Structure 1
Amino acid sequence: MSFRYQQLASELQQQIEQGQYACGERLPGVRELAKRRALSVSTVVAGYRQLEAEGYLQANSRSGYVVKARYQPPPLSSAPLQHAAAPSAVSSQHMALTLSKAAADPAYMRLGAAVPAAEYLPQHALQKALQQVIKAQPARLMCYEASRGATELRREIARRMALHGAVVSPQDVIITNGCQEALMLSLKAVTRPGDVVVIESPAFYGLLQALEAAGLKALALPTDAQNGIDPDALEQALTQWPVKACVLIANYSNPLGSLMPDQHKKRIAALLAEHGIALIEDDTYGDLGFNGQRPASCLALAPKQDIFYCSTFSKTLSPDLRLGWVIAPKHTAKLEYLKFISNISTAALPQLAVAKLLQSGRFERHLRQVRPLYQAAVQRISSSIGRLFPAGTRVSQPQGGFVLWVELPQGVDGYLLAQQALAEKISIAPGAIFSPTPLSGSARYSNFIRLNCAVAQDARLERALQTLAQLCLRQLTP
């Protein structure tokens, strides 16, 4: 005869194994479940503790008990990827256009572009803020905004950055059409066509597109899956090549999800300063760390160095707002001019609406709510990969953000897999496009893919992952 807590544990275990509770999902609170099942609190606690001991649950001080991953695939190697680094022209980034088209088509399971689904975004708060602006300041929306951006938003961004250790003046904040424009303006400010720019390897393909458009050469350096770019490799590269700029995603890089230690950030900033080279910091994912503590930016740790700080609200509020910003106190006037001749200014309506959200505190509340959702989504897809994909598959272990970098077994072509997946109405990002020369005979990351985890966690996702696993197995079958 079993005790009541054992019966409860057995029922919950069955529900977890049947998928009624997904990996990373929070179970009902102890008091809530006790009331629902007419059990004592101590009985529920005992049942949860049994499941925790058996590896089904994990106790979280803030979220109660959550379902634990039981099929975790092996992680990527922690050692930096070893390859000879030499500057190369960036080519064939038009491949990413297919991803963009699929990301906008609801008929596709959108695992390719790193675009969060609507349920991860503060839809109602944003809608209310937009309506308030339209009602309160209609005349403001009938003319061009200043090239630097709306004063209200620049002031709120500066205030928020100061809370995280980067003291900047609102006058130095330049509002852009997303982080992509912030990167483009920064590169134009310090480089000319043909110049060499240090980047991470693998590198975010949006950056590669910017380099290709500007006619710049990429020097891709080894990148550790946990700690980011290798400072020793950077030091060697600076003595070997005529580098003009360095672009890094130090906080939760895309696609690896790595978090660079503060001492590495300081050393890299110092190395670049010694050689008179600008650091362009992409901090798109800095607000989306899983442990709740926002990591310091390079700008905060080295405020006197020549740093262009770029970020965006695309991953936290809405991609369609097209709101980003760049801060580089030594280059403010030049950035403002480049922004002006590029597209005059960014639309006032989204700027004023986001300023309201920041001022009200709703943005911070949203971040507190969405971080565990992103973490749970990453854990669930990682667990599904471990359960479904062929032996030899390895995945990244991101510490923030919402993308997974997946290493498939040798013999699986990631680009071919992406083409086959499109035929099944599934969008994924092939690893090759995270390399400066994706179509070359020696293209790196040919057996890698990147997956966007910020999608609806439902049966459609499970079917898509099953299909991808089957397509991989088909490539491996003689």
Structure 2
Amino acid sequence: MNNNKTDFAYQLVYRYLLRLTNETPPGPAVRLPSLRLLARRLRVSISTVQNAYSLLEKEGRICSVPKSGYFALPHPCNDIPCEGDDALQRYHASARRADMFVFGADEPTLLQSLDGALLGLERDLMRHYPCQPDPRFQPFGDVELRSALAAHYTSSTEHCWHPDNVFVAPDKTAVLKTVVQALQLQDSAVLVESPCGWNILRTLQSFGIRVIEVCSDAQGGIDPEELGGLLQHEQVRMVILPSQMDPVRGRMMPAEQRARLAEVLNLHGVWVLEDDTHGALCFDRQNPPLRDLIDPERLLIVGAFDKMIGLEAPFGYLLSRHSRALWHQQLLLRSFRLPPIRQKAIARLYSSGQLDRHLEVLRSSLQSRLGELSAMVAHYLGDDVGFQAPQGGATIWLNSLHRVDMGRVFERLLEQRIVIAPGELFSVRGLHQQSLRISGTADWSQDIESMLVVIKGALVQERLA
């Protein structure tokens, strides 16, 4: 008799909780009543409630978080359109939807932007220059902006740049394509640090370039001996490395290791492309950039403004001391026509010191926000992922502590309207299958803790035996 009563009570609690979870709206995970509160509400024992919760957790309907309780996971939504089987296409298609919580984007200026100041300067300049100040076509970029960039990158008489060394393009991808065509890298081998940004990887692949990935260690370093062996045996034409910080994982290579790496690169005489899109977002500004250690005749610096200023400043740029005639030829062929007033406005942000002041505030805000997010990740996902606190940038790189099908995790989260960046996007060799990236500049008005609970549920449900 007692067993029948226990069975009935257990089924009653299960059905009650099942209805609660079925009515959970799309979006963040919803916290469920505690064991003690629900036992008192339904007038059953705590063990009966515990049994019901355990079954729902096995069915993937709820998720338990130590010291926080139980959360109802949103039901999958099947009305999200899919665009192909390619993970990057699905990422971008989902991130464009207004009803998705984009948790994997690398957009530092969502936290603090200079777009307003930039557009204000542009309006002032328009009053001073109602017509284009110089009707002649400037295929290499506005002279004022090129001068501002040259001054920004000049750090000494030894490491100095001039406006003739600077070239402006519509965006970073356009710069990369110009470099590939100018140096005739098509169908050759290019070495990159892995994980690597997908815009670099996809651009190289589009030219039939063989991409060789060298994985950095947990501290952000690359083994100089491994690099030397690859350069010697793989006939590498160019090496792409970050200026100071690995922009995907937010890790900075130790200074001594960076110096040894530069010696190897200079010894082999390969082209070195320094990616400086995130260099200004390093929290520690003491370490010298890679460019100060590389043979200037084999050095190319590529950067962009959007990670520092905002989405209203999409332009990319190139610095090179090698054969101006070569770059002139390529840029004339491509005939970039960029709005001169917008370029002048960006130049004024540099020359007035406003950009430097903005970057100080942005770095501080990013460091604080990533500290908060790191604490939440440690609390809610500490049993499922490992990570190191980023040393710059806007994102956190997480590594699963258990073997999971990260592709299915990605898909499961898309069904629940959460967009993370799975590690496979940052490799062309199928590396980083157990990793994912989340952003500290996601919409903080949302319930971030509940989002992390949903991610935990997806990681648990997609574990591999």
Q: TM-score range by the shorter chain?
A: 0.7 to 0.9
Q: Which of 441, 451, 461 lines up with 1:454 in the alignment?
A: 441
Query: Which amino acid letter does the alignment assign opposite residue 373 of structure 2?
Result: I
2:277 equivalent to 1:299: no
2:384 equivalent to 1:401: no
Query: Which amino acid letter does the alignment assign opposite residue 113 of structure 2?
Result: L
Q: 2:368 corresponds to which residue?
A: 376
Matches within 5 A, 1:258-297: 258-291=251-284, 293=285, 295-297=287-289
Give distance in 2, aligned partners of 1:288 and 1:241.
Answer: 33
For residue 407 of structure 1, give the secondary structure of its aligned residue in structure 2: strand
**Deviation of the 1:393 alpha carbon:** 0.9
Q: 1:98 corresponds to which residue?
A: 90
- How many equivalent residue pairs? 382
Identity of aligned residues (%): 22
Q: What TM-score comes out, normalization by structure 2 length?
A: 0.76
Alpha-carbon distance change, 399 to 234 in structure 1, aligned in 2, over 3 angstroms: same
Q: 1:366 corresponds to which residue?
A: 358
Q: Which of 367, 370, 377 lines up with 1:385 in the alignment?
A: 377
Query: Which amino acid letter does the alignment assign opposite residue 239 of structure 1?
Result: Q
Give distance in 1, aligned partners of 2:85 and 2:237.
Answer: 22
Give distance in 2, aligned partners of 1:125 and 1:276.
Answer: 43
Matches within 5 A, 1:29-44: none
Give distance in 1, aligned partners of 2:169 and 2:280.
Answer: 19
Which deviates more from structure 2 when the two are superposed, residues 263-272 or residues 412-421?
263-272
Q: 1:354 corresponds to which residue?
A: 346
Give distance in 1, aligned partners of 2:324 and 2:96.
Answer: 34
Query: Which amino acid letter does the alignment assign opposite residue 160 of structure 2?
Result: V
**Deviation of the 1:448 alpha carbon:** 0.8
Give distance in 1, aligned partners of 2:176 and 2:222.
Answer: 19
**Deviation of the 1:424 alpha carbon:** 2.0
Any stretches of 5+ residues in structure 1 without a counterpart?
1-70, 72-91, 438-442
Q: 2:240 corresponds to which residue?
A: 247
Q: Is the 8 A contact 1:273 1:305 kept in 2?
A: no
CA RMSD of aligned residues (A): 2.5
Q: Is the 8 A contact 1:144 1:347 kept in 2?
A: no
Deviations 1:388-410 (A, max 9, x none): 12614111332111121110133
Q: What TM-score comes out, normalization by structure 1 length?
A: 0.74
Alpha-carbon distance change, 227 to 357 in structure 1, aligned in 2, over 3 angstroms: same
Q: 1:178 corresponds to which residue?
A: 171
Matches within 5 A, 1:104-253: 104-116=96-108, 118-140=110-132, 145-163=137-155, 166-253=159-246
Q: 2:310 corresponds to which residue?
A: 318
**Deviation of the 1:477 alpha carbon:** 9.0
For residue 341 of structure 2, give the secondary structure of its aligned residue in structure 1: helix
Q: Which of 301, 309, 323 lines up with 1:309 in the alignment?
A: 301
Q: Is the 8 A contact 2:109 2:308 kept in 1?
A: no
Alpha-carbon distance change, 416 to 422 in structure 1, aligned in 2, over 3 angstroms: same
Give distance in 2, aligned partners of 1:335 and 1:294.
Answer: 32
Q: Is the 8 A contact 1:358 1:364 kept in 2?
A: yes
For residue 398 of structure 1, give the secondary structure of its aligned residue in structure 2: coil
Query: Which amino acid letter does the alignment assign opposite residue 150 of structure 1?
Result: D
Give distance in 1, aligned partners of 2:417 and 2:133.
Answer: 39
Query: Which amino acid letter does the alignment assign opposite residue 265 of structure 2?
Result: L
Q: 2:48 corresponds to which residue?
A: none
Q: 1:467 corresponds to which residue?
A: 454
Give distance in 1, aligned partners of 2:153 and 2:245.
Answer: 18
Q: 2:51 corresponds to which residue?
A: none
Query: Which amino acid letter does the alignment assign opposite residue 449 of structure 1?
Result: L
Q: Is the 8 A contact 2:237 2:271 kept in 1?
A: yes
Query: Which amino acid letter does the alignment assign opposite residue 453 of structure 2?
Result: Q
Query: Which amino acid letter does the alignment assign opposite residue 220 of structure 1?
Result: E
**Deviation of the 1:319 alpha carbon:** 2.7
**Deviation of the 1:226 alpha carbon:** 1.9
Give distance in 2, aligned partners of 1:172 and 1:265.
Answer: 25
Q: Is the 8 A contact 2:403 2:464 kept in 1?
A: no
**Deviation of the 1:132 alpha carbon:** 1.4
Alpha-carbon distance change, 460 to 117 in structure 1, aligned in 2, over 3 angstroms: farther
Give distance in 2, aligned partners of 1:330 and 1:219.
Answer: 25
Query: Which amino acid letter does the alignment assign opposite residue 250 of structure 2?
Result: G
Alpha-carbon distance change, 190 to 466 in structure 1, aligned in 2, over 3 angstroms: same
Which deviates more from structure 2 when the two are superposed, residues 217-226 or residues 363-372?
217-226
